[in-house]
Each structure stands twice: as structure tokens, then as C-alpha cells.
Structure 1
Amino acid sequence: MGRGDLTNAEWDRLESCLPRGGARGGRWSDHRRVINGVLYRVRTGVQWRDLPERFGPWETVYKRHRRWSADGTWQMLLSRIQAAEDAADGIDWDVSVDSTAVRAHQHAAGARKAPPAAVPQKGAERGTNQVDPTTETGRPSGGGGQIGECLGRSRGGFTTKIHLVADGRCRPLAFVLTPGHYGDGPQLERVLEQVSVPRTGVGRPRTRPDQVLADKAYTSRRNRRHLRRRGIPHTIPERLDQQRHRKNRGSRGGRPTGFDSERYKKRNTVERTINRLKSFRAVATRYEKRAHIYLGTVTLAALVIWLRT
């Protein structure tokens, strides 16, 4: 077993969740070896062709990662591990929301305009939208191009942004991808919609946190109204310009928003979660042209964090 490979204990937790049959009814190559090969690449960021020979043919490793990113297998594995943790009361449902910009490598550009028919999400519910296919105006981007692949220009250059929800133990519960120039606040509803931890027994998946913590980027009236409608307590500071505007309106400005400064100190969990994700070099720098394959890379990194925490 090489450094960074799945341990026996981690493999035992994962093995029962893996798909049994291969493509067209054939047999898969050894799951553990191939997953360790994908994990090696996600951890080090090397080119696929430079994978060590102990993982087998690099084409097999790459195609498995590409297929499981497209059909939702990585997301399915993450959901099952989260479900087992929730059943053991191992999830802290005081969650924090934030985003991080990821610099795209020059080879990440140039994807063809017709994306693969798709990007079906077999492992998750059909209605999920973890990759943003629209422009900021809400109109479709034409099925391709840079925005369709979640690449945009921001202060950091050519970037993709990961919006994520972290539990109170510094583990990613859910995330979505957008181009790097998208704002944080408008994505709050989307990223919270991705929180869906299945039950191991009978019952609907858990989708509502006990508490949501976020910084001033999420302090819009729309976000607060959405959280109140869902019955989710939240701790979000109010910006100074909003405070002045409310006071200038007098009684029409409404009451001040409630803010618990002690509880807000726990928001550092999402910052620590981002640091954990970016310790994987293929997450910290985006090399993939296709957004759904990069999403699979992020999902595998999150899966390893859950297995090892």
C-alpha cells in the first residue's frame, strides 16, 4: 500500500457500496487499485499518463473516473458514507456556507461547445444542479463555451468557484460549481438545495440543517427570507450600508436582524474545510476541461475527507 492509498479500514467501509457489474455486463478491473490510482492523481495533480505502473493502464484509471463522474457514482458513494455517519449521530448539523475560487490551468480551456449528452446524475436525484449551465442572467449559455463549463474571469484570472456547505466537524456536506466571477450570495439557495443525506432505514433524506452560519456576502433579504421560509435559524452579520439604509427609513426599515457573535465564531469550520479540500492538488488547481469531471474530482476529495475524519 502506497502513501495516500485507501487503508484496509477505509476500503471495508467503501467496498460494499461499489457497483458490481462493468460496462455492457463485463467485469470491472480491480476496484481498489483503480480507485487508488484516481486518488493518487487527485492528491498529486500529475498528468494521467504519468500515473505509476502499479495502478495499471492509465487509460483504465482515467476512463473509470470520467464515467463515475458523469453517472453520479462518486456522488452516490459520498451520500452513502454521509448516511452511515448520520445514522451514528456523527454529523454536526450547525453548518457553515462559503465559497473558494480555484485557478484553472491553461489546459482547462478549449472544451468543445457540445458537451457530452451528458452529465446524468444517476447517483443523485435527477433534479440536482451541481454544475451551473446558465449565465448570470439565468439564460442558458448555449450548451457549451467557457461559462457552460464553469470557467470565468475574476481577480484571480481564469477561475472556477466552489460553493460549499460544511458541517460542524469540517467536512463538506454539499457543493456546487460556478464560473469564478459569480457572486456568493445568489448561490446560497442552490448550495443548500444540495444538502440531502439519506436515511439508512425508512424515511426521507435529511435536508434541513439545525443552524446556518455565513459571512456578510450572504446577508441579502432574499437569503434571509428563504431561510425563514424553510424554518432554518441563521447567523449572518448585516453589512454597514444595510444598517444605515434601515435606520434612515425609520420605522419602515424594520427591526435589526438577530446576530449571535459567539455562535458566529464557529463559522471557521467552513474555512478549515476549504483548506482540507485544497490539500488535494487537483482540487486546488483545475486541470479538467469538463466541469462535471472536475466536480467528480472534488467529490472524490470530499469522500476521502469523510472516510478519514
Structure 2
Amino acid sequence: MGRGDLTNAEWDRLESFLPRGGARGGRWSDHRRVINGVLYRVRTGVQWRDLPERFGPWETVYKRHRRWSADGTWQMLLSKGQAAEDAAGHIDREVSVDSTAVRAHQHAADARKAPPAAAAQKGVHARTNQVDPVLRKLTLRLEEVVRSANAPGRSRGGFTTKIHLAADGRCRPLTVLLTPGHYGDGPQLQPVLEQVSVPRSGVGRPRSRPDHVLADKAYTSRENRRYLRRRGISHTIPERLDQRRHRRNRGSQGGRPTGFDRERYKKRNTVERAINRPKGFRAVATRYEKRAYTYPGTVTVAALIIWLRT
């Protein structure tokens, strides 16, 4: 067993969740060896072709990771692990939300500035720029949609991807959401919390409502607070100075001050530590994958290992 491979105890916990059949009714290659190959690549960030021979053919490891990222197998394994922890009562449901930016490697950035269809339209509006500004706006919107579909976005740090994460009180990621790097944090609070779903080991709906939510000033919009109140979720989110000043200037029409528990807010450092854990995997700290479905699978593998080893 190499450094970073699954231990016998971790394999015993994971083996019962793995799919039995292979593609087209065939048999999978040795699950443990292939998963150890995926872990090695996620931990070190090497190219797939440079995997050591003890993991078998690199094509097998790469195709298994790509397939399980696309069909949701990695996410299923993570949900199974969370359900087992929830059944044992080991999940602290005081959830913290935050995000981190990840620099995209040059291999993850598409060499083409636009897809063929958008490139053709780009040539059209280049000739009719002065005549049809609406076509120019539609073309730019199409290019933005294509860039969003592949997740890297251009920000101050170049091509980046932003990882939005909700963590439990024990610094373990409950859910992960990826957006282009230039997306703001506040509008992503609702999508992140909507993805929190811990299945029950027995009968019943998945647990999707945290007991309490902690977040920083980036999430302090009125819309987010209304959303949390509507779901009956207590929260500790500080108010920005400009919002406080605007509320005071409106007098009685500005509403009551938002409640804020300073002592409870000190626990928000759990999400900072939870973010540092997956970024300890080099294939997570730097995005090497180009496709939008492969990199989330890589982040999910890192989250799965964190749950197995915590």
C-alpha cells in the first residue's frame, strides 16, 4: 500500500457502496486499485499518463474517473458516506458557507475564444457592428454562456473557478458548487444550501435544513435573509456598514437592526479550515480539467476522502 492509498478500514467502509456491474454488463477492473490511482492523481496533480504502473493502465483510471464524474457516482459515494455519519450522529448541523478561488491551468482554458457557432456569429457582428448592435449583444451573451458552461471565468487573477462550499461544524464539506471565478458570493447562498441533502439510513426524506447558518458580510443581502427566514433557519451574518447607514437614514421605515451573535460568529472559522482541506489536494488547488463535469468530480473525490478520514 502506497502513501495516500485507501487503508483497509477505509476500504471496508467504501466497498459496500460501490457499483457492482461494469459498462454494458461487463465486470469492472479492480475497484480498489483504480480508486487508489484516482486518489494518487487528485493528491499529486500529475498528468494521467504519468500514473505509476502499480495502478494499472492509465486509460482505465482516467476513464473510470471521467465516467463516475459524469454519471454522479462520486456524488453518490459522498452521499452514502454522509448518510452513514448521520446515522451514527456524527454530523454537526451548524453549517458555515464560504467560497474560494482556484486558478485554472493553461490546459484547462479553451484555446478557442469562442465555439464554432459563436465564432461565426462573431465574424458577422464584426462586419455589422455599426448596423446591428443587438446582434453584438446576443453574441457576447452566447460567449458568456459557453464560458459559464465550462466553469472557468476571467477575474483579476486570470482564468479562475470559484468553489462555493457549505461545511458542517466538524470542518467537512456537505456540498460543493462551482461557478466561474468572477461570480459573486452572495447570490450563491441559496443554490449552495439547496444542494445540502444528507440521506437517511432508514425511512424518511433527506436532511436538507441546517440548524444554523454562519456566513460573512458577502452574504448579508435582504434576499438571503428572507430566504433563511422563510425556511425557518436561524443565522448569524454580520451587516455591512453601508447597509447599516442606509437603514438608519431611513428612520422608522428602515426596519429593525439585524441580530448578531459575536460569540457564535467566532465558529465561522470552521469553513475556512474546511476549505483548506480539499485545497491540500493539488488537483483541487489548481484546476487542470477543461470539462465542467470532470473537475467537480475531482473536488467530490477530495471531499469523499475527507469524510472517510475524519
State TM-score, norm by structure 1: 0.90
AA matched with 2:276 = N
Q: Which residue of 1 aligns with 2:121?
A: none
Note if 1:60 corresponds to 2:60.
yes
Q: Give the CA deviation at 1:146.
A: 2.2
- CA distance, structure 2, for counterparts of residue 156 and residue 264 of structure 1: 29
Q: Which runs of 5+ in 1 are unaligned?
A: 115-138
Q: Which residue of 1 aligns with 2:271?
A: 270
Q: Give the CA deviation at 1:140.
A: 8.3
Count of residues in Structure 1 that have an aligned counterpart in Structure 2: 285
CA RMSD across the alignment: 1.5
AA matched with 1:238 = E
- CA distance, structure 1, for counterparts of residue 144 and residue 267 of structure 2: 40
Q: Which residue of 2 aligns with 1:118?
A: none
CA contact (8 A) 1:104 1:160 kept: yes
Please identify which structure carries the higher helix content: 2
AA matched with 1:273 = A
CA contact (8 A) 1:111 1:290 kept: no
Larger Rg computed on CA atoms? 2
Note if 1:291 corresponds to 2:292.
yes
AA matched with 1:172 = P
Q: Which residue of 2 aligns with 1:37?
A: 37
Note if 1:23 corresponds to 2:27.
no
Q: 1:26 to 1:169 in 2, by over 3 A?
A: same
AA matched with 2:284 = V
CA contact (8 A) 1:79 1:198 kept: yes
Q: Give the CA deviation at 1:145.
A: 3.0
CA contact (8 A) 1:212 1:232 kept: yes
Q: Give the CA deviation at 1:306.
A: 0.1
CA contact (8 A) 1:172 1:273 kept: yes
Q: Give the CA deviation at 1:155.
A: 1.7
AA matched with 1:284 = A
Any idea what the Cα deviations from partners look like across 1:14-47, whole Å, max 9, x if unmatched? 0000000000000000000000000000000000
Q: Which residue of 2 aligns with 1:83?
A: 83
- CA distance, structure 1, for counterparts of residue 93 and residue 307 of structure 2: 15
AA matched with 1:145 = V
AA matched with 2:174 = L
- CA distance, structure 2, for counterparts of residue 91 and residue 251 of structure 1: 42
- CA distance, structure 1, for counterparts of residue 144 and residue 202 of structure 2: 39
Q: Which residue of 2 aligns with 1:151?
A: 152
Q: Give the CA deviation at 1:154.
A: 1.1
Any idea what the Cα deviations from partners look like across 1:35-91, whole Å, max 9, x if unmatched? 000000000000000000000000000000000000000000000000000011100
Note if 1:229 corresponds to 2:226.
no
Query: What's the secondary structure of 1:153's corresponding residue?
Result: strand
State TM-score, norm by structure 2: 0.90
Q: Which residue of 1 aligns with 2:167?
A: 166
- CA distance, structure 2, for counterparts of residue 20 and residue 140 of structure 1: 44
Q: 1:233 to 1:140 in 2, by over 3 A?
A: farther
Q: 1:142 to 1:20 in 2, by over 3 A?
A: farther
- CA distance, structure 2, for counterparts of residue 141 and residue 11 of structure 1: 45
- CA distance, structure 1, for counterparts of residue 186 and residue 156 of structure 2: 18
Query: What's the secondary structure of 1:108's corresponding residue?
Result: coil
